[in-house]
Amino acid sequence: MSQPESSLMSRLVSLSKRRGFIFQASEIYGGLNGFWDFGPLGCQLKNNLRDQWWHDMVECPPLGPDGKPLSIVGLDSSIIQHPRTWEASGHAAGFADLMVDCRESKHRYRADHILCLEVFYEKAGVKKPLGVLSALEGDEFDTTIIKKAKKLMQKAGGGEILPIEASLAVPFTTLSKEQQGLVIGLDAENVGTLTEPRAFNLMFHTYVGVFQDEDSKVYLRPETAQGIFLQYKNIMDSSRVKPPFGVAQVGKSFRNEVTPRNFIFRAREFEQMEMEFFCPPEDGMMWYEFWVAERLRWWESVGCRKENLFGHVIPENEVAHYSKGTTDIEYRWPFTAPNFGELEGVAYRTDYDLKQHAAFSKTNLDYIDQEAKRRYVPHVVEPASGLTRGVLLLLAEGYQYDESRASPEWLKIKPSLAPIKLGIFPLVNKDGMPEVAEKLYLDLRQTYTCQFDAKQSIGKRYARMDEAGTPFCITVDGETLKDQAVTIRDRDTASQERVALDKVRAYVAAKLASA
Ligand code: ATP
């Protein structure tokens, strides 16, 4: 099957816009980098994935290793919490990269990615410094440097550039302030265009109340998890849960990402689905392994092919100091293929977070186990996934291209997650057909998301539903009034079946349950 020239990502972006899955935020004002709006189909798809996660995590959690259902409860905590929260969690001090801005090109770079080299030239037998030139790590250092050096040389009135030794280049961060002031930025023409390296915290801040000063400064949460730790004690005291148990939360998180990119993969405002599983310290490793396996299984259950998922065990020297194990659940994204990129992180966080919050808030967060007559701070295993990234996965995984179909581009989304479950059409808008179709629609829409469509040819209507990923289309035709039956078309096979009107409900229920 021949494929279009454009990349899968650009096709996903344009299909998303054309069919109302995802739009650029503030598009009429030129957009705002890193922000996205979910349109009619997109928010339905996102809600369905969220509800499935909530169902499988909170309402009907998996069975534990002993065959008994796990105990997991829900929470919806504030986006803005007491600012001490982020001091205790480490986000206030540590959630930062050192960044350098170029005043001329307006580009921003990670300071440790800029390499600098002092260059000399010779004129009338005298060696003179030409300037400090910079290039980005991974760039072709020599070419960049020589091009810039030649320009500078012209300004200096000509001469001979002394051989450049790229191996002598050093990171921008190791230069003195004076030297930093002499550097020519990567995309700049003039000297001294780079600012000093500044810690760039990824948290957005705002102020609470009338006065805007350090005392009223608060942060938009960069993850939902911390809200769970803050309420862990209240939840235990009010819900009769005790370790091992989990608290799950879905909600918006905000990160001022330096380079938001790859559509909704790395956004500045996004949604997470996180669960903190509290357990006795000695069982931490067992639960960590349990959740890694369980989360891989779950992504498969929502329609991800096994070969596109990968459990990447993070090497010990790369995990956070408090973690006793982290596995990233990775997906083969269109822009990483054949490699994988993060979809969800499963981390064994030990008792770090609860101990930090206990110390910073001066609150005792021990669990007192009455039966075993002991007290301890529970250990925590955290499966932290991205709802926004999950939607991108469903689109990428579901995208199909088949030139022989009325709509070559169509979405094979698992029926239970599809934004619209049923398209309901009168074949033509006369002869009693609209009335029957409308009656069916008014009945079925009480149970399923349905779309009634009486415009354009039936082929075009099927094509529109295929692009939206609608699994079944029901057509009322000229025969219906005689045989009291309709045609039901299956999205995946494009095959049609005749079903009696009074059997449609049962047919659809069975199909949706089995698919
Ligand atoms: P990355 O390494 O991709 O920046 P991370 O390790 O910082 O991700 P976590 O802090 O573990 O991410 O957050 C858990 C999940 O939240 C991620 O697996 C991802 O699905 C989602 N997520 C994190 N940052 C973003 C973002 N900027 N845009 C969309 N989703 C995100």
- Residue 301's CB: how many other CB atoms inside 10 A? 11
Distance 25 CA to ligand 1 centre (A): 20
342 within ligand 1 shell (Cβ under 6 A): yes
Answer whether residue 268 shows pLDDT above 90.
yes
330 in contact with ligand 1, CB cutoff 6 A: no
Averaged pLDDT for residues 126-136: 79
Task: Please give the distance, rounded to the nearest whole angstrom, from the Cα atom of residue 386 to the centre of ligand 1.
Answer: 6
Rounded-to-integer distance, Cα 345 and Cα 292, Å: 9
Bin 255: left if φ > 0, else alpha if -120 < ψ < 50, else beta. Answer: beta
| C-alpha of residue 387 to centroid of ligand 1, in Å | 10
Q: Which amino acid is at 493?
A: T
On the question of pLDDT at 131 being above 80, the answer is no
For residue 103, the model assigns a pLDDT of 85
Decide if 8-95+206-303+345-396 and 405-514 have a common fold. no
Q: Structurally, what CATH architecture does the domain formed by 8-95+206-303+345-396 represent?
A: 2-Layer Sandwich (3.30)
Q: What is the mean pLDDT of residues 282-294?
A: 98
Domain ranges of the chain: 8-95+206-303+345-396, 97-199, 405-514
Calculate how far, in angstroms, residue 90's C-alpha sits from the geometric centre of ligand 1: 16
Question: Which residue's CA is the nearest one to ligand 1's atom 24?
Answer: 266
Q: Is the CB of 267 under 6 A from ligand 1?
A: yes
Closest-CA residue, ligand 1 atom 4, reads: 266
Q: How confident is the model at residue 2 (pLDDT cuts 50, 70, 90)?
A: low
* Distance between Cα 103 and ligand 1 center (Å): 30
Q: At which residue do the structure tokens 């659940």 appear?
A: 329
Residue 138 has pLDDT above 80, yes or no: no
Exposed / middle / buried, residue 389 (Cβ in 10 Å: 0-12, 13-18, 19+): buried
Q: Is 393 in the pocket of ligand 1 (CB under 6 A)?
A: no
Which residue minimizes the CA distance to atom 19 of ligand 1? 386
pLDDT band (50, 70, 90) for residue 1: low
For range 67-89, the mean pLDDT = 97
Q: The pTM is what?
A: 0.85
Mean pLDDT of the chain: 92
Q: Each residue of 11-43: pLDDT tens digit?
A: 999 999 999 999 999 999 999 999 999 999 999
Question: Which atom belonging to ligand 1 lies closest to the Cα atom of 272?
Answer: 16
Residue 282 CA to ligand 1 centre (angstroms):
29
Could you tell which of 89, 270, 349 is best to mutate to test the pocket of ligand 1, judged by most ligand atoms within 8 Å of the CB?
270
Mean pLDDT of 386-399: 98
Q: Evaluate if residue 94 carries a pLDDT over 80.
A: no
Q: Around Cβ 479, how many Cβ atoms within 10 Å?
A: 13
Residue carrying structure tokens 């829900």: 74
Residues 217-233: tens digit of each pLDDT: 999 999 999 999 999 99
Res 195: pLDDT: 87
What class has domain 405-514?
alpha beta
Q: Is 34 in the pocket of ligand 1 (CB under 6 A)?
A: no
More confident of the two residues 228 and 96: 228
Among the ranges given (115-124, 268-277, 378-387), the one the predictor scored with the smallest mean pLDDT: 115-124
Lowest mean pLDDT among 182-186, 371-375, 488-492: 182-186
96-101: strand order across its sheet: 108-110, 96-101, 198-201
The set of residues, in sequence order, having a beta carbon less than 8 Å from that of 336 and lying 6+ positions away, is none
Q: What is the mean pLDDT of residues 273-285?
A: 98
Residue 419: DSSP 8-state: S
Express each pLDDT in 172-198 by its tens digit.
888 888 888 888 877 787 788 888 888
Q: Which residue has the higher pLDDT, 479 or 113?
A: 479
Whether residue 386 has its Cβ less than 6 Å from ligand 1: yes
